[in-house]
């Protein structure tokens, strides 16, 4: 199963938290070696299922329990009749606990990794490092891993591809690139955060018998962005509903030659179920917008006074500000005014960059108001608003998004192939259904519009961002490679249709 097909409620635990869960499970009476036997059996089963024709395997075992999984997997493959050659990166006598037991139960020879010979093998089982990786891989082990990389043999990884940090998804020195990764009990951030996600191939989550209560007790408020997280917040169409009950979104347009982004957002918002959408354009952009809009309304908002007048109409209950709007003090002023009136605001693109030198102003406006605010930065915009968080190499993308949400008081949707959405209260999700071809000009404008549409339908900010990211990804998958943002805006399905 590819990650985009994952359903269900999935907590994501850091390797450290997973270790605590393991220890708690074992303390509660569960046999640790039994967990390892199930883990190892799942790895050998994965190999046999996906490479049934393979005539020989090499198994690379490291110094810890990840290596222990490798010994068990080697035994499973040998018992299934596959010739196996096993290599250890350390003196096998150094193994302890369950890993030592697994080593003792392996009947075949143990070769030194320094003698690695991959000829006449067709598959590599990577059990060098998993959750315990805590520093860059160097020296002889790194060299052996480079040999495996250059062999181009398919790799099945135990828990994580060796060299990929389970906490951050960063490569520590060098990493193996797996076609399949078999992981246990819960997913780890490194399975979904780039670049780690690209090294994992298909990720298979295996229940090895750790009680759910232990996983729940260590829940870190981080989940995979699946419909199960927010399905009860999807706006339901009501028979008695009218267009205003589905909200009225205002989308600010840039000047004469910068109007397309706002229309993409507006169009997406209407598709995503907003009752009414109005493009709010400066005088210079009225004609160019009017030439392209039909179901979407248009209003001249050029000045602060125009905005004040507009805000008298309480029915316009949410705004998208930023796409194509231009960077500058006018943008900051509009954002502050909207936030002070407690209307929902999606601050995107130029709306974010405008606060580059006065991010604290934005954060204090948000703190002073009650407006639901969603910031939607890509990496460049993120580093303009939160330069210290962006520069801190110890932090994962999840950490950064969470700290940004805490600091700003806004829900932060930190874009990328691994979009992370974080709320000021600490909740976070990683979105995984976005295909690579969704990274196309105007795609972010569409996403901003979808979020706006959900906000004006009174979906709470965190769920609005999470649902929107998911809808955006689904539309991208549905439309396929080569889509343009125009196709995307046309292809958005309202959530009640998408999730019926």
Which of 59/438 has CB closer to K ion?
A: 59
Residues that bind ligand LZDS7PUF (CB under 6 A): 18, 22, 35-36, 39, 62-69, 129-137, 141, 158-159, 184-185, 208, 210
Spatial distance between the Cα atoms of 308 and 321, rounded to a whole number of angstroms? 15
Q: Identify what 210 binds: ligand LZDS7PUF, K ion, none; CB under 5 to 8 Å per kind.
A: ligand LZDS7PUF
415 is in an annotated binding site: yes
| CB burial of residue 163 (10 Å; 0-12, 13-18, 19+) | buried
Which of 36/498 has CB closer to ligand LZDS7PUF?
A: 36
In the complex, the smallest distance separating the C-beta of residue 200 from ligand LZDS7PUF, rounded to whole angstroms, is 13
400 is in an annotated binding site: no
Which of 60/307 has CB closer to K ion?
A: 60
CA distances to 454, 469, 499 from 236, rounded to whole Å, are 11, 19, 10
In the complex, the smallest distance separating the C-beta of residue 59 from ligand LZDS7PUF, rounded to whole angstroms, is 13
Q: Identify what 339 binds: ligand LZDS7PUF, K ion, none; CB under 5 to 8 Å per kind.
A: none
Q: Identify what 133 binds: ligand LZDS7PUF, K ion, none; CB under 5 to 8 Å per kind.
A: ligand LZDS7PUF
Which of 206/311 has CB closer to ligand LZDS7PUF?
A: 206
Q: Is 381 in the site for K ion (CB under 5 A)?
A: no
Out of 14, 44, 88, 162, the residue judged to bind K ion by CB under 5 A: 162
Cβ neighbours of residue 299 closer than 8 Å, sequence gap 6 or more: 250, 278, 279, 280, 281, 310
Asked whether 234 and 496 are in contact (CB, 8 A), the reply is yes
Q: Identify what 254 binds: K ion, ligand LZDS7PUF, none; CB under 5 to 8 Å per kind.
A: none
Asked whether 100 and 71 are in contact (CB, 8 A), the reply is no
Q: Which of 193, 227, 345 is nearest to 280 (CA)?
A: 345
Which of 36/385 has CB closer to ligand LZDS7PUF?
A: 36
DSSP conformational letter for 171: B
444 is in an annotated binding site: yes
Asked whether 451 and 495 are in contact (CB, 8 A), the reply is no
345 is in an annotated binding site: no
What binding mask, one character per residue, do residues 101-130 give for K ion by CB under 5 A, x or -?
Answer: -------------------------x---x
Residue matched to tokens 């809808």:
471
In the complex, the smallest distance separating the C-beta of residue 167 from ligand LZDS7PUF, rounded to whole angstroms, is 12
Asked whether 276 and 299 are in contact (CB, 8 A), the reply is no
Cβ neighbours of residue 303 closer than 8 Å, sequence gap 6 or more: none
Q: Which two tokens stand for residue 387?
A: 């330069």
Q: Identify what 39 binds: ligand LZDS7PUF, K ion, none; CB under 5 to 8 Å per kind.
A: ligand LZDS7PUF
Residue matched to tokens 């979904």:
192
CA 407 to chain CA mean position, Å: 21
Which of 76/324 has CB closer to ligand LZDS7PUF?
A: 76
Q: Identify what 65 binds: ligand LZDS7PUF, K ion, none; CB under 5 to 8 Å per kind.
A: ligand LZDS7PUF
Q: Is 158 in the site for K ion (CB under 5 A)?
A: yes
Out of 13, 123, 157, 298, the residue judged to bind K ion by CB under 5 A: 157
162 is in an annotated binding site: yes
Q: Which of 115, 50, 47, 52 is nearest to 75 (CA)?
A: 47
Q: Identify what 184 binds: ligand LZDS7PUF, K ion, none; CB under 5 to 8 Å per kind.
A: ligand LZDS7PUF
491 is in an annotated binding site: no
In the complex, the smallest distance separating the C-beta of residue 162 from ligand LZDS7PUF, rounded to whole angstroms, is 8
Cβ neighbours of residue 98 closer than 8 Å, sequence gap 6 or more: 32, 33, 35, 36, 65, 68
Q: Which residues of 259-276 are buried (b: 16+ CB within 10 A; e: fewer)?
A: bbbbbbbbbbbbbbbbbb
Spatial distance between the Cα atoms of 500 and 227, rounded to a whole number of angstroms? 11
Spatial distance between the Cα atoms of 194 and 192, rounded to a whole number of angstroms? 6
Q: Identify what 269 binds: ligand LZDS7PUF, K ion, none; CB under 5 to 8 Å per kind.
A: none
| 460 bridge partner residues | none
Whether omega before 120 lies within 30 degrees of 0, making that bond cis, reads no
DSSP conformational letter for 236: P
Q: Is 178 in the site for K ion (CB under 5 A)?
A: no
Q: Which of 396, 398, 472, 468 is nearest to 430 (CA)?
A: 398
67 is in an annotated binding site: yes
Which of 3/493 has CB closer to K ion?
A: 3
108 is in an annotated binding site: no
Instruction: Enumerate the known binding-site residues for AMP.
Output: 415-419, 444
Instruction: Enumerate the known binding-site residues for (6S)-NADPHX.
Output: 65-69, 130-136, 159, 261, 324, 378, 445
Q: Which residues bind K ion (CB under 5 A)?
A: 126, 130, 157-158, 162
């Amino acid at each position: 199963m590819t990650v985009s097909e994952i359903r269900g409620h999935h907590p994501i635990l850091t390797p450290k938290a997973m270790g605590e869960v393991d220890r708690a499970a074992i303390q509660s009476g569960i046999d640790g070696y039994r967990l390892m036997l199930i883990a190892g059996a799942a790895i050998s089963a994965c190999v046999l299922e996906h490479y049934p024709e393979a005539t020989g395997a090499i198994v690379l075992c490291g110094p810890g329990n990840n290596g222990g999984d490798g010994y068990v997997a080697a035994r499973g493959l040998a018992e299934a009749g596959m010739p196996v050659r096993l290599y250890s990166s350390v003196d096998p006598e150094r193994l302890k606990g369950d890993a030592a037991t697994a080593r003792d139960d392996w009947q075949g020879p143990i070769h030194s990794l320094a003698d690695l010979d991959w000829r006449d093998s067709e598959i590599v089982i990577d059990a060098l490092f998993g959750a315990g990786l805590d520093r860059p891989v160097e020296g002889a082990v790194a060299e052996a891993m480079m040999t495996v990389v250059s062999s181009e043999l398919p790799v099945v990884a135990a828990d994580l591809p060796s060299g990929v940090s389970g906490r951050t998804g960063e490569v520590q020195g060098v990493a193996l690139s797996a076609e399949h990764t078999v992981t246990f009990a819960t997913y780890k951030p490194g399975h979904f955060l780039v670049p780690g996600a690209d090294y994992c191939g298909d990720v298979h989550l295996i229940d090895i018998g750790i009680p759910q209560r232990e996983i729940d007790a260590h829940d870190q408020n981080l989940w995979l962005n699946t419909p199960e997280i927010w399905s009860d917040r999807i706006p339901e169409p009501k028979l008695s509903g009218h267009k205003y009950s589905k909200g009225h979104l205002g989308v600010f347009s840039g000047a004469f030659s910068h109007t397309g982004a706002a229309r993409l957002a507006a169009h997406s918002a209407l598709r995503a179920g907003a009752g009414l959408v109005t493009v709010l354009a400066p005088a210079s952009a009225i004609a160019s917008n009017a030439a392209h809009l039909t179901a979407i309304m248009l209003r001249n908002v050029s000045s602060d006074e125009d905005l004040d007048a507009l805000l008298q109409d309480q029915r316009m209950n949410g705004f998208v500000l930023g796409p194509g709007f231009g960077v500058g003090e006018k943008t900051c002023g509009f954002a502050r005014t909207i936030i002070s009136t407690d209307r929902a605001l999606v601050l995107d693109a130029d709306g974010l960059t405008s606060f580059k030198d006065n991010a604290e102003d934005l954060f204090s406006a948000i703190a002073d108001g009650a407006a639901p605010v969603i910031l939607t930065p890509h990496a460049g915009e993120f580093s303009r608003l939160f330069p210290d968080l962006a520069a801190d190499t110890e932090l994962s993308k999840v950490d950064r998004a969470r700290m940004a949400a805490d600091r700003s008081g806004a829900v932060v949707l930190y874009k990328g192939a691994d979009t992370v959405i974080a709320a000021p209260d600490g909740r976070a999700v990683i979105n995984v259904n976005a295909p690579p071809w969704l990274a196309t000009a105007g795609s972010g404008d569409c996403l901003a519009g979808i979020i706006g549409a959900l906000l004006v339908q009174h979906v709470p900010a965190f769920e609005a961002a999470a649902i929107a990211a998911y809808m955006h990804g689904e539309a991208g998958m549905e439309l396929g490679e080569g889509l343009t943002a125009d196709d995307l805006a046309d292809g958005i399905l309202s959530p009640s249709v998408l999730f019926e």
